[in-house]
């Protein structure tokens, strides 16, 4: 596919570049380069969201009437590309990227009026309550109970692998409001205030030592029925709609391309480009990322016309996460022995590293470009598991696309 930007698109690109030159500080760019997770440190993400919101650019994919930009698919792709090239930190996806589209598609007028503006400003920080012990990829088996009590539900259960529950003040949850013969029935999509009595958050440390994931325990938590999104017992329909945005409704290839360029740069500095097979694997990844970008542009075009990603979201999630993991593997090779040093004090992890004690002199080993390599590799092992394992995604594609 050949992409030729129109004069209007090029003018928009120049506008975005001017904005980034003015607003994205050198300190923010530096912190982003030192990220070891797919998530920016919370304070950095919140600060950047405030800057974007002030310009009206925090939610490019939202309809204009809810605070979106009204951009074309091409403009959204250009915007994402320029953010990646400039080294802008990513925003947490749980609010603007996931719960926001669900409320726009399935929320009541009152819910949209209350929650959407607070998502844009960052006043509300969100997390996702889906997975439970024994209910990960088989999400329909979830058992967190929501018992009817007049105008409230009383919620009791346990969610885990809950990203950013330690910094979020709201969580969107799938809960079971009834036991039905078909497990997908009787599930309700519920918005819960994290300050409600009966909620306890406990940290889960990742392989990279970062505290990003959490266990969340609910004990007799009272939630108003006004917080149900869609209809009681029909939350599975809402959840499937959200998963399409979680898995493939955004733009990922500009970030992959930027990472590929940095790895090529690092390999050149370390003299690894001439190693047998290294350059050819870089070239192969570049070709595959370009192919994914073509599909991504097609999906963005469809989204701009009101279509949902559908089964293509499973393909985007599967290919995108596996390409990302292959990039981390090449980065490890390029860094060589320097990748072995564990030194999060010299980087910007996605969350606290509570079991790590930095050296007294705060120094670090090796060149700057090697500092994040090992932590990124370890962190990205989860990429093919979260948002539905890639094995599950292949089953979805086999059924929905191939009719198997």
Q: Calculate the alpha carbon distances from 230 to 112, 122, 148, 190, 265 in Å.
A: 12, 24, 16, 9, 49
| pLDDT score recorded for residue 246 | 53
Q: What are phi and psi of 67, to 5 degrees?
A: 110, 10
| pLDDT score recorded for residue 373 | 93
| pLDDT score recorded for residue 153 | 98
Class assignment of domain 7-103? mainly alpha
Residue spans of the domains in the chain: they are: 7-103, 126-242, 250-400
Class assignment of domain 250-400? mainly alpha
In this structure, how many other beta carbons lie within 10 angstroms of the beta carbon of residue 200?
11
| pLDDT score recorded for residue 152 | 97
DSSP string, 297-318: HHHHHHHHTT---TTHHHHHHH
The per-residue pLDDT string of the chain (404 residues; one tens digit each, 9 = 90 and over) reads 456 788 999 999 999 999 999 999 999 999 999 999 989 999 999 999 999 999 999 999 899 999 999 888 788 889 988 999 899 999 999 999 999 999 999 999 999 999 999 999 999 999 999 999 988 778 889 999 999 999 999 999 999 999 999 999 999 999 999 999 999 999 999 999 999 999 999 999 988 899 999 999 999 999 999 999 999 999 999 988 877 665 445 678 888 998 999 999 999 988 888 888 999 999 999 999 999 988 888 777 776 666 666 677 788 889 999 999 999 999 999 998 888 888 999 999 999 999 998 888 888 888 988 999 999 999 898 888 887 788 888 888 888 888 88
Residues known to be catalytic: 246
* Cα angle value 27/249/231 (rounded, 5°): 115
- State which CATH number among 2.40.50.140, 2.40.110.10, 2.40.160.40, 3.40.50.620 fits the domain covering 126-242: 2.40.110.10
* 8 Å CB contact between 249 and 101: yes
Contacts of 71 (CB under 8 A, 6+ apart): 60, 79
* 8 Å CB contact between 398 and 404: yes
* 8 Å CB contact between 162 and 171: yes
| pLDDT score recorded for residue 275 | 85
3-state secondary structure at position 266: helix
- Count Cα neighbours of 345 within 13 Å in the Cβ-side half-sphere: 12
- Count Cα neighbours of 97 within 13 Å in the Cβ-side half-sphere: 18
| pLDDT score recorded for residue 260 | 94
| pLDDT score recorded for residue 307 | 67
Q: Note the Cα 82 to chain centre separation in Å.
A: 18
Query: Can you give the pTM of this predicted structure?
Result: 0.88
331-336-338-342 Cα dihedral, nearest 10 degrees: 60
Phi-psi domain of 222 (left: phi exceeds 0; alpha: psi -120 through 50; beta: other): beta
């Amino acid at each position: 596919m050949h992409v030729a930007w129109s004069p209007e698109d090029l003018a928009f690109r120049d506008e975005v570049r001017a904005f980034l030159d003015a607003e994205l500080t050198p300190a923010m760019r530096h912190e982003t380069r030192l990220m070891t997770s797919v998530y920016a440190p919370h304070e950095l993400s919140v600060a950047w969201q405030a800057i974007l919101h002030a310009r009206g650019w925090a939610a490019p994919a939202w309809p204009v009437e809810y605070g979106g930009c009204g951009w074309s698919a091409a403009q959204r792709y250009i915007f994402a590309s320029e953010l990646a090239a400039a080294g802008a930190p990513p925003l947490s996806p749980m609010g603007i990227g996931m719960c926001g589209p669900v409320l726009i598609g399935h929320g009541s007028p009152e819910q949209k009026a209350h929650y959407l503006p607070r998502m844009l400003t960052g006043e509300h920080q969100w997390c996702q309550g889906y997975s439970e012990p024994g209910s990960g990829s088989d999400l329909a088996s979830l058992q967190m109970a929501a018992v009817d009590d007049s105008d409230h539900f009383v919620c009791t259960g346990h969610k885990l692998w809950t990203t950013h529950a330690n910094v979020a003040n709201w969580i969107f949850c799938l809960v079971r409001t009834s036991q039905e013969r078909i497990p997908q029935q009787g599930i309700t999509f519920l918005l819960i205030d994290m300050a409600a009595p009966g909620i306890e958050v406990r940290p889960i440390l990742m392989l990279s030592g970062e505290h990003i994931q959490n266990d969340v325990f609910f004990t007799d938590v009272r939630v108003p029925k006004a917080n149900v999104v869609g209809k009681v017992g029909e939350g599975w329909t809402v959840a499937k709609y959200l998963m399409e945005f979680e898995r493939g409704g955004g733009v990922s290839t500009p970030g992959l391309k930027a990472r590929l360029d940095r790895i090529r740069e690092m390999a050149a500095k370390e003299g690894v480009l001439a190693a047998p097979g290294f350059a050819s694997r870089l070239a192969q990844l570049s070709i595959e990322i370009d192919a994914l970008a073509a599909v991504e542009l097609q999906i963005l075009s469809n989204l701009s016309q009101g279509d949902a990603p559908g089964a293509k979201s499973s393909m985007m999630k599967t290919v995108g996460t596996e390409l990302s993991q292959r990039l981390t593997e090449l980065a490890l090779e390029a860094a060589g022995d320097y990748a072995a040093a564990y030194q999060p004090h010299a980087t910007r992890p996605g969350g606290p590293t509570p079991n790590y004690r930095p050296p007294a002199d705060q120094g670090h080993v090796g060149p700057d470009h090697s500092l994040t390599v090992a932590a990124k590799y370890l962190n990205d092992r989860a990429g093919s598991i979260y948002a539905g394992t890639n094995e599950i995604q292949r089953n979805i594609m086999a059924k929905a696309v191939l009719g198997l």
